[in-house]
Amino acid sequence: MTTKEVEYLVCKSYRCKVCSTTGQTYGYIKGDDFDMESFDPCEKCGSTNISFLLSVPNIDRFDERFPYFDRGLGMMLHSKKHRRQVCKERNLVPVDGDIDFSDEINKVKQKHKEEDKIVSDLNDRVANHPGYAEYRKKKAQGWKPKFTHRDQGEVPGMKKIDPFNEE
Ligand SMILES: [Zn+2]
């Protein structure tokens, strides 16, 4: 059984991949696919290397220019009143403008501030606290502390592993 594919003539907006010209081109859709060879080449340079642009009008949501296609609602909106109506019908709350995240950001900033304070307090203690006097004195004399792992003891039946020289 063979199905005769239906052809539609369509007009598409395009951008030329060679010279970036944009314009309109006519061609056929066969079945579900564009018949690319049937479309007019770039009107400026004649290249057939073109890509189609989405012909969605004015989706500049926050400029409030009507009508526009609202991607969230999936329909054309004609005015603010229209949008309010649609939202009301669908039990939606329209959000105007950018969502304000400054609360969250301030919380994170505050946390960073607190952590910085802990580090600077610690540094301050090492530099000034009497408990670190010996440490400071040794450091001043050129002492470079060597940090080693505490001996974890031996586990019977297990080979002792040097954590710095694992085999
Ligand atoms: Zn071109």
Q: CB neighbours of 48 closer than 8 A, spacing ≥ 6?
A: 36, 37, 39, 41, 42
- Helix, strand, coil percentages (3-state) for the chain, rounded to 5, are 30, 20, 50
Digitized pLDDT (tens) for each residue of the chain, 167 residues in all: 445 667 878 888 889 999 999 988 888 888 778 888 899 999 999 999 998 887 554 444 555 577 778 877 888 888 878 888 888 888 877 665 556 667 777 888 888 888 888 888 888 888 888 888 888 888 888 887 676 766 666 667 776 666 666 55
* Residue-range domain boundaries for the chain: 7-52
* Distance from Cα 128 to the centre of ligand 1, integer Å: 72
**Structure token digits, residue 83:** 């949008």
> Can you tell me the distance from the alpha carbon of 27 to that of 35, in angstroms, rounded to the nearest whole number?
7
Which residues fall inside 5 Å of ion ligand 1, going by CB? 16, 18-19, 21, 42, 44-45, 47
* Distance from Cα 15 to the centre of ligand 1, integer Å: 8
Q: How wide is the angle at C-alpha 62 spanned by C-alphas 61 and 65, nearest 5°?
A: 70
* Distance from Cα 35 to the centre of ligand 1, integer Å: 19
The pLDDT assigned to 105 comes to 78
* Distance from Cα 36 to the centre of ligand 1, integer Å: 15
* Distance from Cα 50 to the centre of ligand 1, integer Å: 8
> Can you tell me the distance from the alpha carbon of 80 to that of 111, in angstroms, rounded to the nearest whole number?
40
> Can you tell me the distance from the alpha carbon of 48 to that of 27, in angstroms, rounded to the nearest whole number?
12
pTM: 0.33
* Distance from Cα 31 to the centre of ligand 1, integer Å: 27
The pLDDT assigned to 1 comes to 44
* Distance from Cα 53 to the centre of ligand 1, integer Å: 14
Q: Which one, of 25, 64, 19, 63, lies nearest residue 41 by Cα?
A: 25
| CB burial readout 89-100, b (16+ within 10 A) else e | eeeeeeeeeeee
Q: What is the DSSP letter of 71?
A: T
> Can you tell me the distance from the alpha carbon of 75 to that of 68, in angstroms, rounded to the nearest whole number?
8
